[in-house]
Structure 1
Amino acid sequence: MAEVTGKVDFKVGDDTYQTWYKIVGDLTSGAHPLIVLHGGPGVSHDYMTPLAEIHNKCNIPVVFYDQIGIGKSFFEGVADKPKEFWTVDLFMDELDNLVAHLGVQNGFALVGHSWGGMLGAHYASHRHPVGLKHLVITSGTPSMALWEQSTRQLLQALPADVRETIERHEKEGTTDSPEYEKMVGIFFEKHVCKSPWPKVMETSFAAMMQHPTSEFTITGTLKSWSCLDQIHTITTPTLLTNGVMDEAQDVCISPFFQRIPHVKWAQFSQRHMPFLEEEDQARYFQVVADFLTYA
C-alpha cells in the first residue's frame, strides 16, 4: 500500500511547531479519509497503525499523526511548557491545521481511541466541522469523572493486595515505585492490553516514557474535563465501541449513546484496544469499515 509521510507547521502564539503525519492510501481517490486520533495523552500513534487495515478493506485513505509534543511531533522544551499550554483547544487547533493542510476539510472521518475519542467528541460537539462525515469513538468517555468512576469500579474488583498497593502509592505520590508499576501492570493486563504487548504498543509507550506530557493528564489539565453538556449537539453519524473487560466500562459509553442523535454502539469481547486483540481485531475492522461505507 502507498504511504506518504510529512510534517506541517503548526503556529501557537509566536511559536511554530511541527505535526508529523503519515497517509496510507491516496487522498485523491475520492473517498473521505479516516484521520486517527491516538490516545494517551502522551503515547504516539504507533499502537494504532493496525487501522491501516481499513484502507485494505475499503480503499479509504487512513491518516495517522503524532499530536503536538509526542513521538515524531516532539519539540525541545516540551517538558518546560506550563500546564496552561496543554489545553483541549490546542489539540483541536492542531487537528484543524492538519485537516486544512491535507485539503480534506470538505470531507473526512475521525476515529479516536481513549483520549483520542474524548478529543473527537469535544471537536465534533464544540466546533461542528461541516466536513466531518463520520465519527468513531473507541473506548472514550464524555467526562473524566465518569472515566475515574469506571476505573475505580474495576480497581475494587482486583485482589485486595493489588488494590491497596495501588491506592497507597497514589495517595503518597510514589507512583514511580517499581511496586506500584508492577501492580498497575496487573490492572493493565486485565483491562487495557494483553500481555505480552504487541511491538507497536511498546513503541507508543516508549515514546511517552521518553517525552512525557505529564501536565495533560487526569491529574493535570484534563482533571475536570467534560463535554457532557454538549454531546447532544453532535449531528455527525457516530459509532461507539468498547470491550467487556475495557477500562472504559459502559458508564463511559452510555451518555454518548443516549444523547447523540445518530449513533450505533458495538461491544467487543476483550479489553481497551480491540484493534490489537486477536479475538476482536477482525470484527472491529469490519464494523468500522461497514460504518464508514454504509452509515
Structure 2
Amino acid sequence: MSDQPVIREGYAPFGNNQTWFRVTGDLSSAKTPVVIAHGGPGCTHDYVDSFKDLALNGRAVIHYDQIGNGKSTHLPNASQDFWTIELFLSELDNLTRHLGIRSRYNLLGQSWGGMLGSEHAIRRPSGLNALVLASSPSSMPVWVAEALRLRSALPQDVQDTLALHEANGDYDHPDYQAASDVFYRHHVCRLPVWPDEVNRTFAALAADPTVYHAMNGPTEFHVIGSLKDWSVVDRLPLIDVPTLVISGRYDEATEACVEPFVRLIPNSRQVMMENSAHMCHVEERQQTMAFVEAFLGEQD
C-alpha cells in the first residue's frame, strides 16, 4: 500500500464552459489511470467518490462533473436538444486530451455513466485500455420495463401512492417522494443510513434537475426525455477492449438490463455483488474495489 495519494483539482475548458475534474494519484504512474463517469444523467461525482480508493494502490483516479452538473458549468436555460450523448462524448474526449492521457486510459461508468462508456467504447478510441460498466442499462426500454416490474413488487399502498400522484403529475408531493424513497431503499442503495456523498448527489440533482429532466424525465418510472428509446444492444459487438460488468443482486439495473453486455461484448466478464442494489461501490465498497482493481490490474 502506497502513501496517501496526491489530489489535484482543476477545470478543463470545454467550448465556452468548464468541466471540473479531480485527479487522485499520479498520472505518470505505471498503472493505467481510470476515468470515473457518474450517472444520472444529471448527478454529480459525489456519490461515486469511493472509487478514489483505487488510487491507494498507485493508480490515478479521475473524477469529473459532467457539464450542467456539480462544480462544472450549469446551463439551466439550455434547450432540451442541447443535452445529447454526443455532447457528453465530446466532453469526455476533451477531458482526456486536457489531462494528457488520451493515449492510454481506463473508463469506469456507473449507471448513465456506463451508457456513456459503452457509446464511447463502440467508437473504438485508440487510447481506451479497458472498460468497467457498473450497474448500467444496455437499453432504456428494458430499464423502464424492469423498473415497473420491480415497482409491482412493492407494498400495495406504496404502489397506490405512486399511481395517485403520477395521475396528477404531482411528482414533488411529499407522499410521492416518500413512496419513491421506498423503491430507492430497495433497489438503489440498501444501506440503512446513506453516506453523505450519496445525499450530496441527490441534493444537487434536486437543486438543478435540468439535465435529468431533459434526457430522462420526471422520475425513474417515466422516461420521456431524449434517452427514452436509447439502446446500445445491437452495437455491443463493436467493443474491442476487455470489459467488466458489475452490478448488484437487488439492482434496478437488473440482470435483464446487463445481460446483453456480457453476452455481446467479445471480451467481457460479469461480477454480481450479492448484498448490493444500484451502488455496490457504496454498499459493498471494499469488495467492489477489490474486484475492479484486480480486473484493471490484469490490463496494465
* Pair in the same fold by TM > 0.5: yes
Residue 222, structure 1, aligned to residue 227, structure 2: yes
Q: Which residue among 162, 166, 173 is the counterpart of 1:166?
A: 162
Q: Distance in 1 between matches of 2:187 and 2:100?
A: 38
Is the 8 Å Cα contact of residues 53 and 285 (structure 1) preserved in structure 2? yes
Give the structure 1 partner of residue 23 of structure 2: 23
Q: Which residue among 139, 142, 154 is the counterpart of 2:138?
A: 142
Q: Distance in 1 between matches of 2:294 and 2:254?
A: 24
Residue identity opposite 1:235 in structure 2: D
SS at match of 2:148: helix
Structure 1 unmatched ranges of 5 or more: none
**How big is each residue's C-alpha offset from its partner over 1:167-208, in whole Å with a ceiling of 9 and x where there is no partner?**
332233111111100000000011101232100011111111
Give the structure 1 partner of residue 82 of structure 2: 85
Q: Which residue among 260, 277, 284 is the counterpart of 1:271?
A: 277
Of 221-230 and 180-189, deviating more is: 221-230
**How big is each residue's C-alpha offset from its partner over 1:54-89, in whole Å with a ceiling of 9 and x where there is no partner?**
111x311000000001010033xx221111000000
Residue identity opposite 2:106 in structure 1: A
Q: Which residue among 270, 283, 287 is the counterpart of 1:283?
A: 287
Give the structure 2 partner of residue 256 of structure 1: 261
Q: Distance in 2 between matches of 1:291 and 1:219?
A: 36
Give the structure 1 partner of residue 187 of structure 2: 191
Give the structure 2 partner of residue 72 of structure 1: 71
Give the structure 1 partner of residue 101 of structure 2: 104
When the two chains are superposed, the root-mean-square deviation of aligned CA atoms in Å is 1.1
Q: Distance in 2 between matches of 1:39 and 1:195?
A: 22
Q: Which residue among 247, 250, 268 is the counterpart of 2:252?
A: 247
SS at match of 1:72: coil
Q: Distance in 2 between matches of 1:203 and 1:149?
A: 28
Q: Which residue among 8, 14, 18 is the counterpart of 1:10?
A: 14
> Offset of 1:281 from its aligned partner?
1.6
Aligned length: 285
Give the structure 1 partner of residue 220 of structure 2: none
Is the 8 Å Cα contact of residues 235 and 262 (structure 1) preserved in structure 2? yes
**TM-score, normalised relative to structure 2:** 0.93
> Offset of 1:160 from its aligned partner?
1.1
Moved over 4 A (4+): none
> Offset of 1:165 from its aligned partner?
1.7
**How big is each residue's C-alpha offset from its partner over 1:194-229, in whole Å with a ceiling of 9 and x where there is no partner?**
232100011111111112122121321111111111
Aligned residues with identical type, % of pairs: 38
Residue identity opposite 2:87 in structure 1: L
Structure 2 unmatched ranges of 5 or more: 217-222
Residue identity opposite 1:241 in structure 2: I
**How big is each residue's C-alpha offset from its partner over 1:239-261, in whole Å with a ceiling of 9 and x where there is no partner?**
00111111111000101111000
Q: Distance in 2 between matches of 1:288 and 1:169?
A: 40
Is the 8 Å Cα contact of residues 74 and 211 (structure 1) preserved in structure 2? no
